[in-house]
Amino acid sequence: MQIKKAVVTAAAKSQRTLPMQMLIDEHGVERSVLSIIVREAVRAGVEEICVVVHPGDAEAYSKLVEEVGGRVRFIEQREARGYGHAVWCARDFTGKDAFLHLVGDHVYVGEGSKGCAQELVEAAANEDCAVSAVQVTRENLLPYFGTVAGQRVAGKPALYRVDTVIEKPSPTEAEQRLVVPGLRSGQYLCFYGLHVLTPAVMELLSERAADPGATRITLSEALAELARREHYLALVQAGHRFDIGVKYGLFYSQLALALAGDDRDRVLGDLLEVVATRGMVPA
């Protein structure tokens, strides 16, 4: 499997301005969140990128990724029918090809020399199937993420064969259906915001989009059906995802980028000085 295309979703009302936020990357260069996400995809070997946007946003977004030239195109989501519908809007772009999918309100910071997306793409190519990145996540964060369960692949401790997918489960539902052998009590495998998806996913989303009664289409529904139809894996990522749409999300993203970058020692020293100084201030 070769993954040369990527789809970035950035069309939700609550998400529209988030990719425009500015951060300092690992090399000390000021970039938009969208630029950082696009560069993550390019680093993984992607050659063409489609960004799904709210109508009228393409021009503003295009100015944020001028450095990658003709690699990026924009498609509008003209109906607000959910996250899965936004992915489906890129169906003509992906065609019959597998593709990398990233969300436009997450920043990914890897722990090794490889980027998070690159690690995922290599796993999908090696396993020749759809693979979703997941992270071991505490129970109190379940309302924010799709969650999977399955059995660990023999000899590959970071890979799980997915058999169940539930969108933002309740703790009770998770305890009943999403417990994964080997994880501590109260910990689950939650989506990371990165997927390598096969053309079958677009077919499943098309089935939902054609249903006039389906006012809201989720990606998790399609992935749950995918797990029943074909080999589908989850990869536990060693890096970290940062949702910039939550409280302090942009701050945590910036801090993680700084501590993973060229200016790590300087930033860490400055942080320690701030903490020490703050501790001396009377209450």
* DSSP β-bridge partners for residue 150: 162
Q: Is 247 domain-assigned?
A: yes
Number of domain units in the chain: 1
Q: Is 280 domain-assigned?
A: no
Residue type, 33: V
**Residuewise pLDDT in 10s, the chain (283 residues):** 899 999 999 998 888 889 999 999 999 999 999 999 999 999 999 999 999 999 999 999 999 998 886 899 999 999 999 999 999 999 999 999 999 999 999 999 988 778 899 999 999 999 999 999 999 999 999 998 999 999 999 999 999 999 999 999 999 999 999 999 989 999 999 999 999 999 999 999 999 999 988 889 999 999 999 999 999 999 999 888 899 998 999 999 999 999 998 989 998 988 888 888 876 555 5
* DSSP β-bridge partners for residue 146: 167
Q: What is the pLDDT of residue 14?
A: 80
Q: How far apart are CA 52 and CA 161, in angstroms?
A: 29
Encode pLDDT of 108-129 as tens digits. 998 877 889 999 999 999 999 9
Q: Is 128 domain-assigned?
A: yes
Q: Is 89 domain-assigned?
A: yes
- Domain span at residue 205 reads 5-271
Q: Is 77 domain-assigned?
A: yes
Q: Is 78 domain-assigned?
A: yes
Q: What is the pLDDT of residue 137?
A: 93
Q: Are strands 187-197 and 99-103 parallel, antiparallel or unpaired?
A: antiparallel
CATH number (domain holding residue 184): 3.90.550.10
Q: Is 178 domain-assigned?
A: yes
Q: Is 283 domain-assigned?
A: no
Is the pTM higher than 0.85? The answer reads yes
Q: How far are the Cα atoms of 8, 207, 234, 266 from residue 89, in angstroms, in the given order?
A: 11, 13, 24, 44
The two structure tokens encoding residue 38 = 């696009």
Encode pLDDT of 240-281 as tens digits. 889 999 899 999 999 999 999 898 999 898 888 888 887 655
